[in-house]
């Protein structure tokens, strides 16, 4: 997913989902209203922090955080449910620690970190799911990974191939 695609999601004027009530044969349905909660742009200090953490691979992340330092997309107006939360830069460290605590069993085998839990930065989540979007700081992974409780997959927010791993979050 490109920065432009993310921006397109944030610009939806009245997001919602049509839901059928009962079997599909009925005409009863309703529209579930959702909101996009967009944070203001990142501060210059947070832009510098992105550069420190991601090095040469920070440009795409900076391009987005310069507009919105985090967001919650598709947040239900009647509950705590939401589609995806992009963490503000200030929450990356806390979110990464929370993610690693959820998968602490990996600490027993640090050589086997295919999902970059021990080496990546949690930048987003699907709220209340245990799923994370991880920016890998390992040179073997040139894309953002989606970390699920049972495995991972590459999520297409393309990041150019890395020549060297940037420094980690402190």
Taking residue 25's Cβ as centre, other Cβ atoms within 10 Å add up to: 6
Kindly state whether residue 163 falls inside one of the protein's structural domains.
no
Number of domains in the chain: 1
Does this model's pTM top 0.75? My answer is no
CA distances from 81 to 6, 32, 75 (A): 19, 12, 6
Three-state DSSP at 117 gives coil
Kindly state whether residue 166 falls inside one of the protein's structural domains.
no
Of 42, 41, 36, 48, which is closest to residue 12 (Cα–Cα)? 36
Of 22, 8, 127, 126, which is closest to residue 67 (Cα–Cα)? 8
Query: What CATH number is associated with residue 46?
Result: 3.40.1580
More confident residue, 102 or 159: 102
**Interatomic CA distance for residues 132 and 119, integer angstroms:** 14
**Interatomic CA distance for residues 9 and 75, integer angstroms:** 13
Instruction: Judge whether residue 158 has pLDDT over 80.
Output: no
Residue 145: both structure tokens together: 């990974």
Kindly state whether residue 164 falls inside one of the protein's structural domains.
no
pLDDT of residue 143: 55
Residue 100: both structure tokens together: 């690693």
Three-state DSSP at 90 gives helix
Kindly state whether residue 14 falls inside one of the protein's structural domains.
yes
**Position 120 confidence tier, pLDDT thresholds 50, 70, 90:** confident
Q: Which of 63-67, 76-80, 119-123, 157-161 has the weakest average pLDDT?
A: 157-161
Kindly state whether residue 67 falls inside one of the protein's structural domains.
yes
Angle at 41 between CA 100 and CA 53, to 5 degrees: 40
Tell me the residue ranges of DSSP E strands in 39-159: 71-76, 84-86, 121-126, 131-135, 143-148, 151-158
Instruction: Judge whether residue 32 has pLDDT over 70.
Output: yes
pLDDT of residue 64: 87
Kindly state whether residue 102 falls inside one of the protein's structural domains.
yes
**Position 91 confidence tier, pLDDT thresholds 50, 70, 90:** very high
Kindly state whether residue 170 falls inside one of the protein's structural domains.
no
Instruction: Judge whether residue 24 has pLDDT over 70.
Output: no
Cα 138 to chain centroid, rounded: 17
Containing structural domain, residue 19: 3-158
């Amino acid at each position: 997913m490109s920065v432009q695609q993310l921006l397109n999601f944030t610009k939806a004027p009245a997001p919602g989902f049509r839901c059928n009530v009962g079997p599909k044969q009925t005409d009863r349905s309703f529209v579930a209203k959702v909101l996009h909660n967009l944070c203001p742009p990142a501060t210059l200090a947070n832009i510098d922090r992105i550069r420190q953490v991601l090095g040469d691979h920070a440009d795409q992340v900076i391009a987005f955080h310069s507009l919105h330092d985090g967001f919650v997309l598709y947040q239900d107006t009647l509950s705590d449910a939401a589609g995806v939360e992009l963490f503000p830069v200030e929450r990356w460290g806390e979110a990464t620690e929370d993610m690693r605590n959820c998968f602490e069993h990996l600490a027993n085998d640090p050589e086997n970190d295919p999902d970059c839990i021990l080496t990546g930065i949690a930048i987003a989540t699907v709220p209340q799911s245990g799923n994370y979007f991880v920016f890998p700081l390992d040179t073997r992974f040139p894309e953002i990974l989606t970390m699920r409780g049972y495995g991972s997959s590459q999520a297409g927010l393309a990041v150019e191939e890395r020549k060297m791993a940037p420094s980690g979050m402190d």
